[in-house]
Amino acid sequence: MQFKRILLKLSGESLMGEQGYGIDANRLNDYAEQITEIHQMGIEMGIVIGGGNIFRGLSGASKGFDRYKGDQMGMLATVINALALASALNAKGTKARVLTAIRMEPVGEFYTKPKAIEAIENGEVVILAGGTGNPYFTTDTGSSLRGIEIEADVFLKGTRVDGVYTADPEKDPNAVKFDTISFDEVYNRGLKIMDLTATAMCMENKLPVMVFNMDVKGNLKKVLSGEKIGTLVHP
């Protein structure tokens, strides 16, 4: 395995599958299967899950919601997804613990770095819910932050695209995928792998980011086995 401890980011939007809203049971089960597979191989992990399948503060604000409250709604949405993932993992016999960035026992324990590391070292999958706990941030930034805190070797960004391209592959048929690219080049070419805050944190703290398509079954294991899928963004 090329990485021992990972921070896996799952997008909330992917979790809704073809439904257009909420949680698709098949997609959830597929994620739980893929995670269980790598957990059984001894990979240590923290998982951050988004909330875009339920609510996003920014899109709420464009419809007249107060941004601060909308972001709090978005953070609560990530907690709903985290609970769903924990229960899907438990159903497969995989121990999973939800730690929340906002205090809300008994829904989840309040996150601290030592608690997360202790659970990881005990062989549990740790689901880090509630993003950073602050409005005006994203779960990508939450992933960068938690990835650095849990001392992950890599931030695996599970998306619906299979890597970083020279241009948007859905708009430009000549777009070419990178196998690897540096943070500097991502910046110089104006490529968007995630928001700037998240990218800057990874760059400054030398946390590589692997962008890959999590919605293809078996990809998570492949990416960890070093198969040439996805794009590795390196310091």
C-alpha atoms less than 13 angstroms from C-alpha of 89 in its C-beta half-sphere = 24
Interactions with ligand UDP, residue window 1-60 (CB under 6 A): 11-13, 50-52, 56-58
Q: Which has the closest alpha carbon to 16: 35, 31, 6? A: 31
Question: In the complex with ligand UDP, which residue's Cβ is closer, 46 or 50?
Answer: 50
Q: Which residue has the tokens 């951050």?
A: 48
The nearer residue to ligand UDP, 134 or 166, going by C-beta atoms, is: 134
Task: Give me the residue whose beta carbon is nearest to ligand UDP.
Answer: 50
DSSP for residue 177:
B
Cβ contact 92:33 at 8 Å = yes
Are 39 and 6 within 8 A, CB to CB? Answer: no
Pick from 117, 134, 166, 182: which binds ligand UDP (CB under 6 A)? 134
Question: Token pair for residue 118?
Answer: 């202790």
Q: Hey, what are 80's tokens?
A: 């709903």
208 C-beta neighbours (distance < 10 Å), count:
20
111 is in an annotated binding site: no
Q: Which of residues 70-99 bind ligand UDP (CB under 6 A)?
A: 70-71, 74-75, 77-78
- Binding string, 93-132, against ligand UDP, x = CB under 6 A? --------------------------------------xx
Any known ligand binding at 143? no
Residue nearer to ligand UDP on the CB measure, 50 or 163: 50
Element (DSSP H or E) covering residue 7: strand 5-10
List alpha helices for the chain, DSSP H. Answer: 12-15, 25-40, 57-62, 67-91, 113-121, 139-149, 183-188, 196-204, 219-224
Q: How far is the CB of 31 from ligand UDP (least distance, A)?
A: 13
Supply the minimum distance, in Å, between the C-beta of residue 13 and ligand UDP. 5
Query: Which residues are known binding-site members?
Result: 9-12, 51-52, 56, 71, 132-139, 159, 165, 168
- Residues near ligand UDP, by CB under 6 A: 11-13, 50-52, 56-58, 70-71, 74-75, 77-78, 131-132, 134-135, 137-142
